[in-house]
A and B are shown apart, each in its own frame.
Chain A
Amino acid sequence: DAGITQSPRHKVTETGTPVTLRCHQTENHRYMYWYRQDPGHGLRLIHYSYGVKDTDKGEVSDGYSVSRSKTEDFLLTLESATSSQTSVYFCAISGGTGYADTQYFGPGTRLTVL
């Protein structure tokens, strides 16, 4: 398995509170991604990073921010959580070699916003 961990694995929070999810990799891969997975929508890209301090938006970035200060860590922050952000969040990494750009996924974080 690719060396990807996510923390926390489960979290319950209340509407309006800030939440930070962490993704940590030991593969030294350049690219890191945050997705959310919801029934009927599949996996949707929130933000991704192509290097330290280099990030870009995905298709569902509203309400989320990210930071990457080290190669191995990619943080996803919900500044003020809403019930619509209840979801399963997956981090993924890829080497960005230009061939197939295979992405490897972490185990996921299940977030519930009450």
Chain B
Amino acid sequence: QKEVEQDPGPLSVPEGAIVSLNCTYSNSAFQYFMWYRQYSRKGPELLMYTYSSGNKEDGRFTAQVDKSSKYISLFIRDSQPSDSATYLCAIIIQGAQKLVFGQGTRLTINP
């Protein structure tokens, strides 16, 4: 079993829809939770990170962590074609210096 599981998709939704991207993890020692966005033929870029259970908002993006269920989510409101990318969850144990990535979910927003 992989330490971090993420549905690779692909996921295709119409412009303006709410998008939900999810990951599950197995190691309860994981403490920091990140979402990276990767455009085609580019390197991943950090989108959001969070430490605690609950929600964290940044514009149209909301990161949600449920440590009791070992489940993390990224919600995108009012999705735009420019949001079309692969989204990767990444998790780290504090001080470990090594991220564990999910497979990534390829998302397409259709105009």
CA A90 – CA B76 in complex, angstroms? 26
CA A43 – CA B3 in complex, angstroms? 13
Best-buried of A42, A104, A105 by chain B (most CB within 10 Å): A42
CB of B92 within 8 A of chain A?
Answer: yes
Is chain B's binding surface mostly helix, strand, loop or mixed?
loop
Best-buried of B42, B43, B94, B98 by chain A (most CB within 10 Å): B43
Enumerate 11 A-B pairs (CB-CB under 8 Å) in ascending A order.
Answer: A40-B8, A40-B103, A42-B103, A42-B104, A44-B101, A48-B97, A90-B44, A100-B34, A101-B95, A101-B96, A101-B97
Chain B interface residue count, CB cutoff 8 Å, equals: 26
Known interface pairs A40-B8, A48-B98; A101-B32 also in contact (CB < 8 Å): yes
Best-buried of B6, B51, B92 by chain A (most CB within 10 Å): B92
Q: Which chain B residues numbered 74 to 104 have a C-beta less than 8 Å away from chain A?
A: 88, 90, 92, 94-99, 101-104
CB of B45 within 8 A of chain A?
Answer: yes
| Interface bracket on A | 20 to 34
A-contact 0/1 string along B32-64, CB 8 Å cutoff: 101010000111111001010000000000000
Select A42's contact among B42, B94, B95, B102, beta carbons within 8 Å: B102
- CB pair A105 B97 closer than 8 Å: no
